[in-house]
Structure formats: structure tokens, C-alpha cells
């Protein structure tokens, strides 16, 4: 994606300026003016469990394009038929109705080195995760103290660093904790593989 996208976005021919940040697009325009090239779904990363955003404002044209985080991880890739600029597309389901959204790709904003994983303590032991992350119990406590129940991974987290937040829940069927983990893509992929294996055993 970084290779195919333009360093300086060509705006004179098409005027895609309103799509520098996420913007509503109607299906007819999408079909008429754009070609679908593929999508960003990566089955080795457990994207459906991650619902976090980078700390920048979602709507900002400066917001990072963090490929392994919501909403980018499930985007489809489109190209403008006229100027060939690349775009990301997804349907936002969080509002009153489905909202199709399009964003121009600015390669300077792409971040691909970090990934994330979310899981319920009921189904997967945090101990196994810590081992893979190379985090001992003292550091685990320090990290969770630092991030609390935050859903926002700091954009300056390095791939060699570890983010862990913990959200406790109480329900009639039992209590538990939802952990959100973020670190380098390689180690998150490794944990995801273990996680999927454990799920398949159930
Ligand atoms: Zn164009």
C-alpha cells in the first residue's frame, strides 16, 4: 500500500480534497468513479477483536493510517479511475445506520509496525500472553497501572514496547477481564496464532 500510494497526492484533476480524512461516500459514486483493488484483511491477525483507535481525532486528515487497527484493518482498497490515487473504504456500523466511508491514502501517515489483540480472560490466560511478550509479572502490573482501561494505544508506542490495558466486567454469567494488547506486529501475530489454536480446542 505504501509503495502504490502517492507521496504527494494529486488533487488538481479530480479534487479529492474532501477525502483527506474519512468522509461519507455514496455507493453510486464509489461504483462509478473507483475500482476495487483488494482489501487489507489479514487473517493472521485477529482483527475482529480489536476496537481501538489511535489517539488522533478519527476525522482528522492528519490521523494515522494504522493498518492493523480499527477501522483500517477491515478496509477495502480502491483506486480512482481517473487519477489512480488509492483510497480506503469501509462501512461504519456504529451509528444509526450503515455509513459508507472513504479516505484518500497519504503514504506518509501509514503505520504498519504495530498490531493489537483483544481477548476475554475467560477464554485465554494472560500468563501465556506475557510469556510471548517477554513481560514478567512486575512489568505487567506496571504496564496495566500505566494504561488502566484505555482503548487508545498511544501512537508513539514502539514495536519493541508493550501496551496492555484491562477492562473488568461483571455479568450474570460471571465476571472477567477484557485485555487489550498492542505491540510489534510479529509478536501479536504469534499470540494470535496461539489464541486461535486455543479457541479451536473449545
Ligand atoms: Zn482521482
Separation of CA 105 and ligand 1 centre (Å): 12
CA 63–ligand 1 middle distance (angstroms): 21
- pLDDT at residue 199 in the model: 76
Beta-carbon-side half-sphere exposure of residue 62 (alpha carbons within 13 Å): 4
Look at residue 153 in the predicted model and tell me its pLDDT: 87
- Give me ligand 1 centre to Cα 40, in Å: 21
Cα–Cα dist 102/91, whole Å: 9
Q: How do the pLDDT tens digits run along the chain, 202 residues long?
A: 665 665 555 545 788 999 999 999 999 999 999 999 999 888 788 655 455 555 567 888 988 898 998 889 889 999 999 999 999 999 988 778 889 999 999 999 998 999 998 888 888 889 889 999 999 999 999 999 999 998 888 888 999 999 999 999 999 988 999 999 999 999 999 998 988 887 777 6
Local structure of 29: helix, strand or coil: helix
pLDDT digits (tens, 9 = 90+) for 48-95: 545 555 556 788 898 889 899 888 988 999 999 999 999 999 998 877
Residue 177: C-alpha distances to residues 98, 136, 167, 202 (Å): 30, 19, 5, 19
Distance 82 CA to ligand 1 centre (A): 5
pLDDT value of residue 70: 84
In angstroms, what is the span from residue 136 Cα to ligand 1's centroid? 50
- Strand locations in 17-148 (E): 23-24, 34-39, 53-54, 65-66, 76-80, 86-92, 99-104, 110-111, 114-120
CB distance 163 to 181 below 8 Å: yes
Is the separation of the CB atoms in 47 and 74 below 8 Å? yes
Closest CA to 177 of 128, 143, 133, 144: 144
Q: What is the pLDDT of residues 167-178, one digit of tens each?
A: 999 999 889 999
Amino acid at each position: 500500500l505504501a509503495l502504490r500510494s502517492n507521496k504527494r497526492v494529486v488533487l488538481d484533476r479530480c479534487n479529492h480534497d474532501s477525502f483527506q480524512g474519512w468522509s461519507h461516500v455514496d455507493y453510486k459514486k464509489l461504483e462509478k468513479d473507483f475500482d476495487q483493488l483488494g482489501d487489507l484483511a489479514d487473517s493472521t491477525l485477529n482483527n475482529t477483536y480489536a476496537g481501538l483507535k489511535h489517539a488522533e481525532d478519527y476525522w482528522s486528515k492528519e490521523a494515522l493510517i494504522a493498518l492493523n487497527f480499527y477501522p483500517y484493518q477491515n478496509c477495502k482498497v480502491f483506486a480512482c479511475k481517473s487519477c489512480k490515487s488509492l483510497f480506503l473504504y469501509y462501512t461504519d456500523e456504529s451509528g444509526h445506520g450503515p455509513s459508507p466511508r472513504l479516505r484518500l491514502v497519504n503514504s506518509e501517515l501509514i503505520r504498519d509496525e504495530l498490531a493489537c489483540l483483544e481477548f476475554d480472560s475467560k477464554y485465554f490466560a494472560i500468563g501465556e500472553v506475557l510469556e510471548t511478550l517477554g513481560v514478567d509479572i512486575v512489568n505487567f502490573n506496571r504496564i496495566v497501572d500505566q494504561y488502566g482501561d484505555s482503548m487508545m494505544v498511544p501512537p508513539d508506542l514502539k514495536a519493541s514496547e508493550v501496551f496492555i490495558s484491562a477492562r473488568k466486567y461483571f455479568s450474570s454469567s460471571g465476571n472477567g477481564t477484557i485485555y487489550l494488547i498492542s505491540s510489534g506486529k510479529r509478536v501479536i501475530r504469534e499470540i494470535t496464532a496461539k489464541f486461535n489454536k486455543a479457541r479451536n480446542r473449545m
